[in-house]
A and B are shown apart, each in its own frame.
Chain A
């Protein structure tokens, strides 16, 4: 292996740094040995835990503990996935309730952050405001702190307000964390859309808000989608607030619920792995969407002008 790396390096700069045109041509046909080696190593390191998780989720419990570990040839079972959704009594499992809670909390808090953040971003982009830069910096600065720093004061405030162990409490705190992010990200997208469309619309006879709604908002859809997906992923993955601010099975979201599976006298690793797979799937889908929409968002301005 070391030899092949040396060979690739000593081959000199010419084949290693092809012109852009050549690189494009080469892309389909294969990569240099160095690239393949590095990418393979990276892929193994990055994907091994994921593969292990997936394997564990479809192994029977006795195979999970087998030493040496079996990578192939074990009996495949989907029992763990059934257990994620169906409880021991045949009804809904606590985990499935947690997943539903996650969907509700992440979804509603994202909608809330978007509904509040997009008009705010528009206002910051379009209007002359006093100390606009300072305001924007203040908005951003609320994201500087890690959640764990503020969780104790928020816990105390929530206790007074009766928001402890409620979905509403989680929705509000996630929305509060996502609004600054939404404002910042969306302001970039709004800045890209010329204000003159709105000016023209107002002369056509529309009010300022109608002009925004009818002419600017449709152009912002890719940006809004990308921003919302980021907010969604944040809310979906969030653990610290969830574990401090909720306790009952009816309210808890998936991250603390999955974490709660570990720590008893016996741990059902198959169930943990299956729950983790189910939990990770939406994030994979969202991440894929972000990638697509981010590209659309970046080229939005270039295409139109």
Chain B
């Protein structure tokens, strides 16, 4: 068993409200990702689950039992810290063995467990070294091993891959997913990298300024963002947002364009809206009749594709195109829109109008 449930977490540091009513429900065995920009309160959330900080309000339930007042040691959790927090005077071996030594496991069991973990993470050769003699990637592996050496109720991971270079990060992503599958344990994984979230998670909670914006599967969060902010944060290149309003059966842009109004768009006529369009739902090739007039603003070749920036009025649309696309800035063109995959947001509240209708 390994469920983690937090309810209404509130935590302020002076005037900063780090957590403002965070509620999360992590099912047993899930790879649960908390996604948010820097300063969103992700670390504070993990520390609250671990019991490292005193909360202003809220409760933490572990396996259904109220653990809000429990000391970290008895919560039976393991954590990988953002900067690893390896004990500087101890060797990698002693670092990894620490959770077992603290729990007074027999020496034979400790040696076997450390050996198994170091094999799994390919750090056998590093065991006698101290943290200062390890590279960032090696420290990260040792920190992971220290967490994984035990079978706790759940693993808490605070941006464990953020400090690694890109190649290593991609490798470790796969490796962590593999480890999660083989252990079948609960992971609460914090990251500011939406690619990590989308590729690794069973469930994603999107956090912003101490409040949960949306909880759902990666697909749900990507395809049906609950609000304009989530839509903008998740996805690369970021979603393009165009100011517009509904008029009868048409959507009329502030820049003067019109598009057929999608059936599911329930907005009142004249209500200020934002039309959200993802790069892959736009095309610079003539394909359908729903299209926007614009002019070429810039090209961003990315190897496997090219992102075309198209200026529509004063706004920029990011359009995904073949890598072979060419053009000169200022050139007039039309952008075809896949309206079935478009998003509409209330310009005032930022809430999605499309999620309910589909």
Which B residues lie within 8 Å of A197 (CB)? 85, 87-88
Q: Is the CB of A206 within 8 A of B102?
A: yes
Interface flag for A202 (CB, 8 Å)? yes
B83–A203 CB distance below 8 A: no
Residues of B within 8 A of A (CB): 47, 50-52, 54, 71-73, 77-79, 81, 83, 85-89, 98-99, 101-103, 132, 146
A196 lies within 8 A of B83 (CB)? yes
Given contacts A218-B89, A219-B88, contact A201 B71 (CB under 8 A): no
Of residues 100 through 137 on chain A, the ones whose CB sits less than 8 Å from some CB of chain B are 128
- How far, in angstroms, from A3 to B73 measured CA to CA in the complex? 74
Tell me which residues across on chain B come within 8 A of A70, comparing CB atoms. none
Instruction: Check B103 against A205 for contact (C-beta < 8 Å).
Output: yes
B348 to chain A, nearest CB (A): 38
Contact A205–B99 (Cβ < 8 Å): yes
A-B residue pair count with CB separations less than 8 angstroms: 62
A203 touches B88 (CB 8 A): no
Write 7 A-B pairs (CB below 8 A) sorted by A numbering. Answer: A203-B78, A204-B73, A204-B99, A204-B101, A205-B103, A303-B132, A304-B88
A251 to B102 alpha-carbon distance, docked (Å): 48
Inter-chain contact A203/B132, CB cutoff 8 Å: no
Is A200 an interface position by the 8 A CB rule? yes
| Cβ-defined contact, B98 with A207, below 8 A | no
Are the C-beta atoms of A202 and B85 separated by less than 8 Å? Answer: no
Q: Is the CB of B89 within 8 A of A200?
A: no
Interface presence of A239 (CB below 8 A): no
Which of B51, B54, B71, B87 makes the CB contact (< 8 A) with A200?
Answer: B87
A202 CB contacts on chain B under 8 angstroms: 51-52, 71-73
A202 CA to B73 CA, complexed, in Å: 5
Q: Are B85 and A206 in contact (CB under 8 A)?
A: no
* A159 at interface by CB-CB < 8 Å: no
- Chain A neighbourhood of B78, CB < 8 A: 203
Is A194 among interface residues, defined by CB-CB distance under 8 A?
Answer: yes
Q: Is the CB of B73 within 8 A of A206?
A: yes
Given contacts A207-B71, A208-B71, A219-B88, contact A201 B83 (CB under 8 A): no
CA distance A303 to B131 in the complex (A): 12
CB-CB < 8 A to B71: which residues of A? 202, 207-208
Alpha-carbon distance between A201 and B83 when the two chains are bound, in angstroms:
15
Point out the residues of chain A lying under 8 angstroms from B102, CB to CB.
201, 204-206, 210
